[in-house]
Amino acid sequence: MGAPAGRWLAPATRLLRAAALSPFVSQRLLPFLSRNDAAGLVLLKELCEAGKIRPVLDRRYPLAEAAEAIRYVGEGHARGKVIVEIHRATVGAP
């Protein structure tokens, strides 16, 4: 989702939307906040590895289409994470 005009209210509107949709979808939609520090990242990693939280993926784009991915997100079409894939060249490849 693109950020609404009120940047400070954007997280609250997403939480309200998740709460409103929760009874009607098969997934449990819960708010999750983490701290931007090492302990918060470790906790987030552990929860992901345990399968307790999973990101919602919308689309994948190759690096060559990064501009299209940015446009897609910027126009507010994304309903999950948009991934730009960067493939590392193999050793010895031309």
Give the pLDDT confidence of 40-83 residue by residue, as tens digits: 889 888 988 999 888 889 999 999 999 999 999 999 888 889 99
Pair (64, 94) in one structural domain? yes
Instruction: Kindly report whether the global pTM for this prediction surpasses the value 0.85.
Output: no
Pair (78, 89) in one structural domain? yes
pLDDT at 84: 95
pLDDT at residue 28 greater than cutoff 80: no
Pair (36, 61) in one structural domain? no
Residue type, 92: G
Range of the domain at 85: 55-94
Pair (59, 79) in one structural domain? yes
Q: For residues 85 and 79, give the distance between their C-alpha atoms in angstroms, rounded to a whole number.
A: 18
Sequence length of the chain is 94
| Number of independent structural domains in the chain | 2
Residue type, 64: A
Pair (46, 91) in one structural domain? no
Q: For residues 43 and 29, give the distance between their C-alpha atoms in angstroms, rounded to a whole number.
A: 19
Pair (42, 75) in one structural domain? no
Quickly count: other Cβ atoms within 10 Å of residue 92's Cβ: 5
